[in-house]
Amino acid sequence: MCGRFAFYSPSEAAAALFGADATVEVQPRYNIAPTQFGAAIRNDQNEQRELVMLRWGLVPFWAKDPSIGNRMINARAETVAEKPAYRAAYRHRRCVVLADGFYEWHKDGDVKTPYFISLASGGPFALAGLWENWTDKESGDMLQTTTLITTEANEFMTPLHHRMPVILESDTAGEWLAGSTGLLDDVAAITPQLQAWPVDRRVNNARNEGEELISAAGDVLR
């Protein structure tokens, strides 16, 4: 799964990398957690890419209560096209969520050690996602939310966890946004080279924030 990530690169440069203008202000974040907002790129009504802020935890348009989003932070690549909660968004409302890295917890006995995983190049990347627009029928308030697509871990990630997010670079992000149906068939083939290192357990608390959270607390894995 993917339950925490970071995005701290300058948003203008990162958005441009994926073909969008930085039309909203994005603050550097080192510990983005479910129910919080992250920067995402999607196609607008004119099929032009736009940068938006989406709350993490998908709330389907048909949901009666937005609290359902609390348990819909990830969608499995293997079933996303068929699951009732995701299939409409899979067909019509795709996005990519901007990131510089994500966290995963390696379990060794009773001890869980957080690791920060990033591109070996150190640059920003995108996480394949879906988005939805939910409207409160009583107040008329709108809420735009997202979920991240996950897949089986590749050879690098397997020692840390059995699942991982679908990681995209600029070319594959374009394919995802264009509606590719084959991109998820062989995710390992499109996953860029990664690196990882253990970090302080302060990241376990979603209230903690700051650059020190991604500081290496051990050897870098490549």
- pTM (2 d.p.): 0.96
Is residue 137 very low, low, confident or very high in pLDDT (cuts 50, 70, 90)? confident
Alpha-carbon gap, residue 137 to 191, rounded angstroms: 41
Residue 14 placed within a domain: yes
**Range(s) of the domain holding residue 99:** 5-214
Determine contact, residues 97/110, Cβ cutoff 8 Å. no
Return the number of other C-beta atoms located less than 10 Å from residue 10's C-beta.
12
Structure tokens at 127: 């996480």
Q: Looking at the annotation, which residues are catalytic?
A: 2, 104
Q: Residue 71 falls within a domain, yes or no?
A: yes
Q: What is the mean pLDDT of residues 3-29?
A: 93
Answer whether residue 188 is part of any domain: yes
For the chain, give the percent of residues with pLDDT over 70: 100
pLDDT digits (tens, 9 = 90+) for 106-116: 988 889 999 99
Tally of domains within the chain: 1
Report if residue 98 sits inside a domain: yes
Task: Work out the mean pLDDT of the chain and round it to a whole number.
Answer: 95
Q: DSSP 3-state helix, strand, coil percentages of the chain (rounded to 5)?
A: 20, 35, 45
Question: Is residue 222 in a domain?
Answer: no
Report in angstroms the alpha-carbon separations of 114 from 100, 189, 215: 16, 26, 11
Task: Judge whether residue 1 has pLDDT over 80.
Answer: no
The CATH number that applies at residue 121 is 3.90.1680.10
Q: Tell whether 62 is covered by a domain.
A: yes
Banded model confidence at residue 72, pLDDT cuts 50, 70, 90: very high
State the average pLDDT over residues 197-215: 97
Burial 104-137 (b: 16+ CB within 10 A, else e): bbeeeeeeebbbbbbbeeeebbbbbbbbbebeee
With respect to residue 165, please indicate whether it lies within any of the assigned structural domains: yes
Evaluate whether residue 75 is within a structural domain: yes
